[in-house]
């Protein structure tokens, strides 16, 4: 069996986490568990995005001595793609905002019915 | 039964899509397009050793301004959403004390955690990290403080002032970029130089902007935590 390179491992684990997150959102009954599943899904997507920017044998996009040793002062041949990492930073911040809103909503729901089981919230069900 | 079947169907179709994506994935072998430009000119144009910071705070700083706005909006919506009535606000709940170990450890650790957060955002242009990460570390210190002493109150006025002042200052520095630099939020101001590459005082206004972002994010997350803590008073 051929050895997987780091980028492909990241991609695989990311996709796996996305599927686990979707399973949790669809299957779990407890609202807190649904929120946790949401963050797992979020992490999976972030991991996929970072893995897409990976280039074999290169180092982090921070210019220091190690970069200069690696490619003879030629930065362009020594670092991985910095753009997906910058975009993931944005995605993490937005994920944080959404998660905290979800938690506030869960608190309000618990105050209303004294339970977190999603089956109990059937006011709009017909 | 039908529900389980449908869930399995959804997951299987996602798995199918992802498998196709995975099989058709070809690893990159070199930087292309905009990334190559950033790698080649980032050090000379922006002067930040950490190219991710160069992208986040200089090339795409408008994006970062949007991020700060989103965090601010989140904090505002949560404040509005978890608003307490006047009588709940004045109610005093005495929580049970926490363990001696947690209290003693928190006294030692909280200043160190704050210091580490400040270190992370001041060195955001040199080492991994930056304003958002540093702010989150500072907020984790606040979490520890609340857990060690559930009866503590966070000073709301200080948080609001830190948040508003740092937010306004970021925008003022951005406007300064129009006057002295190439455009809104340009980190290189003409006539001031970039400083020596790889030192703390380098990369134009990036360390200033990122420190302010760090303070703002720390204050905002602490504000959200404060709201969560206070909403325990709600009856």
Question: What's the complex ipTM?
Answer: 0.84
Tell me, yes or no, if A112 comes closer than 8 A to chain B by beta carbon: no
Position A73 scores a pLDDT of 63
pLDDT at B235 over 70: no
Collect all residues of chain B within an 8 Å Cβ-Cβ radius of residue A53.
28, 35
pLDDT higher than 70, residue B12: yes
Check A55 against B22: CB less than 8 A apart. Answer: no
> Of all residues in chain B, what percent carry a pLDDT higher than 90?
20
CB A82 within 8 A of CB B39: yes
Note whether A81 and A60 are within 8 A (CB).
no
What is the pLDDT at residue B184? 81
B198 with A8: Cβ contact below 8 A: no
CB contact under 8 A, B81 and A104: yes
Tokens of B174: 């951005």
Sequence-separated (6 or more) residues with CB below 8 Å from residue A30:
A116, A117, A118
Burial category of B25 from C-beta neighbours within 10 Å (exposed 0-12, middle 13-18, buried 19 and up): middle
Residue A62, beta-bridge partner list: B50
Least confident of A43-52, A62-71, B171-180: A62-71
Interface of A with B in 16-75 (CB under 8 A): 18-19, 22-23, 26-27, 52-56, 60-64, 75
CB proximity list for B65: less than 8 A, separation 6 or greater: B170, B171, B174, B185
Look at residue A14 and give its three-state secondary structure. Answer: helix
Q: Residues of A88-102 as b/e, b for ≥16 C-beta within 10 angstroms?
A: bbbebbbbbbbbbbb
What is residue A10's three-state secondary structure? helix
Q: Does domain A6-120 have CATH number 1.10.287.3510?
A: yes
* A93 and B214 Cβ atoms separated by less than 8 Å: no
- Is it the case that residue A120 has pLDDT exceeding 70? yes
DSSP codes joined into one string, B52-116: HHIIIIIITHHHHHHHHHHHHHHHHHHHHHTPPPHHHHH----PPP--HHHHHHHHHHHHHHHHH
Contact criterion met (CB < 8 Å) for A64 and B49: yes
Facing A86 at nearest CB: one of B10, B55, B74: B55
Nearest C-alpha of chain A: how many angstroms from B49? Answer: 5
B54: nearest Cα among B71, B36, B42: B42
Residues B60 and A88 sit within 8 Å (Cβ to Cβ) = no
pLDDT at B90: 77
Mark yes or no for CB contact B231/A107 under 8 Å.
yes
- Whether the model clears a pTM of 0.90, i.e. scores above it, the answer is no
d(CA B105, CA A80): 40
Query: A64 vs chain B: nearest CA distance in angstroms?
Result: 7
Q: What percent of chain A stands above pLDDT 90?
A: 34
Model confidence at A1: pLDDT above 60: no
Q: List chain B domain ranges.
A: 34-79+96-233
Residue range B34-43, pLDDT digits in tens? 888 888 777 7
What average pLDDT is seen over chain B? 85
Query: In this structure, are residues A59 and A78 in contact, taking their beta carbons and an 8 Å threshold?
Result: yes
Helices B33-45 and A82-113: angle between axes, nearest 10 degrees: 100
**Angstroms from B190 CA to nearest CA on chain A:** 24
Q: Could you tell me the residue ranges of all domains in chain A?
A: 6-120
Which pLDDT score is estimated for A40?
Answer: 94
């Amino acid at each position: 069996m051929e050895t997987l390179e780091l980028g492909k491992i990241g991609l695989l684990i990311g996709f796996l986490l996305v599927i686990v997150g979707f399973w949790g959102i669809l299957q779990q009954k407890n609202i807190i568990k649904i929120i946790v599943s949401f963050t797992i899904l979020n992490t999976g997507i972030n991991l996929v995005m970072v893995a897409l920017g990976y280039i074999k044998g290169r180092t982090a996009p921070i210019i220091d001595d190690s970069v200069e040793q690696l490619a003879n002062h030629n930065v362009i041949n020594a670092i991985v793609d910095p753009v997906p990492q910058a975009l993931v930073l944005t995605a993490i911040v937005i994920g944080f905002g959404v998660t905290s809103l979800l938690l506030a909503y869960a608190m309000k729901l618990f105050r209303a019915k004294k339970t977190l089981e999603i089956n109990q919230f059937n006011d709009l069900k017909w | 039964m039908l529900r389980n079947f449908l869930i399995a169907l959804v997951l299987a179709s996602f798995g199918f899509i992802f498998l196709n994506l995975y099989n058709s994935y070809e690893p990159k072998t070199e930087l292309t397009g905009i990334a190559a430009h950033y790698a080649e000119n980032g050090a000379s144009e922006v002067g930040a050793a950490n190219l991710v910071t160069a992208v986040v705070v200089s090339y795409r700083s408008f994006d970062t301004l949007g991020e700060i706005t989103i965090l601010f909006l989140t904090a505002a919506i949560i404040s509005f959403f978890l608003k307490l009535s006047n009588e709940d606000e004045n109610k005093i709940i005495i929580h049970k004390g926490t363990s001696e170990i947690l209290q003693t450890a928190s006294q030692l650790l909280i200043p160190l955690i704050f210091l580490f957060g400040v270190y992370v955002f001041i060195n955001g242009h040199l080492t991994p990290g930056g304003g958002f990460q540093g702010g989150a570390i500072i907020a984790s210190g606040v979490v520890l403080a609340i857990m060690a002493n559930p009866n503590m109150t966070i000073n709301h006025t200080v948080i609001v002032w830190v948040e508003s002042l740092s937010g306004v200052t970021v925008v003022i520095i951005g406007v300064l970029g129009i006057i002295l630099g190439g455009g809104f939020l340009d980190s290189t101001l003409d006539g001031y130089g970039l400083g020596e590459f790889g030192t703390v005082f380098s990369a134009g206004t990036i360390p200033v902007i990122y420190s302010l972002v760090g303070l703002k994010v720390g204050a905002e997350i602490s504000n959200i935590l404060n709201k969560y803590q206070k909403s325990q008073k709600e009856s």
